Copies of this chain bind each other. A is one copy, B any other.
Amino acid sequence: MEKLRNKDGLTEEEFLKKYNPGKYNRPSVTTDILILGMNEDYSGLKILLIKRGNHPFMGCWALPGGFVQEDETAYQAAARELEEETGLRGGYLDQIYTFTKPGRDPRMWVMSIAYLSLVQELEAVKGNDDADDAAWFDLKFDDSLISLRNEEKGIEIVYDLKKETFSNGAMQYENFIPSLKSKEALAFDHVEIIIEAMKKLREQILYNNQAFCLVKDTFTLPELQAVYEAVLSRPLYKKSFRDMISDRVEETGEEKKSCVKAGRRSKEYRLKKIK
């Protein structure tokens, strides 16, 4: 089998040896990760933020992330970052969207591949090399507001959202335009990343098992419902909810779990094994 030669008469080996990759300028590529977990008492979502220890946006809170290296996929880079921040590996981690707007990083040309991670428990966190600090923030996200609060540190980051629907041809899109309402702000375009990720999570959670990534291995149905309600930011009817998931869960057989205050104990469930 003779070798293919291009217009310059080069075989593939010769071409690759001569190839000059410097023809186009190249961007840096990072991953930024939304790490979400449920509050200990299932009252809402928490998000892990780090405090930037250097310019730009020094002192601002930001999504954890890092550069993708040449010998790894973006997924591996995100998984590595996730493990560095939380010690967790192998949990839910999925690509959301790639952000490429010129100027989104004042240092240089940087694209960011955003990932979403869902964790079963809020691991202790600490800052690392590039971060002064790291902490879990209460996350609220609905059609008119996004807020990130850390009571302990007395930090609140709040954006009003304006829901804007526009159409392009047949398609209709919903966009949320954030406007800062608090003294503190998120670094870079990280508000937009959070908005995109939360939109996607809200769209998907009813049709897959993402909610089960936010509860422990055994859980009660009120807890599981709280997960859906926290993500969707609206109440669900108890009966409809239970009908919806009844064929995906099974009782542990174990005794019921006690609860904090008065009221009947709830049964413990686990995710039904796939058949």
**Measured between C-beta atoms, what is the minimum distance from A35 to chain B in Å?**
15
Q: Which of B21, B55, B100, B169 is A113 in contact with, Cβ under 8 Å?
A: B100
Within 8 A of B (CB), among A149-173: 167-172
Q: Mark A16-39, 1 if CB is under 8 A from B, else 0.
A: 100101001111110000000000
Question: Are A26's CB and B27's CB within 8 A?
Answer: yes
Stretch at the interface among A208-216, A232-240, A258-266: A208-216
Question: Are A70's CB and B25's CB within 8 A?
Answer: yes
Q: Mark A53-74, 1 if CB is under 8 A from B, else 0.
A: 1111011000000011111111
Question: Does A201 reach chain B (CB closer than 8 Å)?
Answer: no
Set of chain B residues within 8 Å of A69, measured between Cβ atoms: 24-25
Question: Are B70's CB and A15's CB within 8 A?
Answer: no
Majority DSSP secondary structure for residues of A touching B: loop
Question: Are B274's CB and A53's CB within 8 A?
Answer: no
* Interface residue total, chain A, C-beta cutoff 8 A: 59
Question: Does A90 reach chain B (CB closer than 8 Å)?
Answer: yes
Stretch at the interface among A101-109, A135-143, A178-186: A101-109
Interface centre among A7, A56, A91, A170 (most CB of B within 10 A): A170
Sample of 15 further A-B pairs with CB below 8 A, known A4-B58, A72-B102, A171-B208: A6-B54, A7-B53, A7-B54, A12-B58, A15-B55, A15-B56, A16-B56, A16-B106, A16-B107, A29-B111, A70-B109, A73-B102, A95-B97, A170-B210, A171-B210
The 22 listed contacts between A and B (C-beta, < 8 Å) are A7-B54, A15-B55, A24-B28, A24-B69, A26-B27, A26-B29, A72-B102, A73-B100, A75-B100, A92-B168, A92-B169, A92-B170, A92-B171, A98-B113, A167-B274, A170-B210, A170-B212, A170-B271, A171-B209, A172-B208, A172-B209, A172-B274
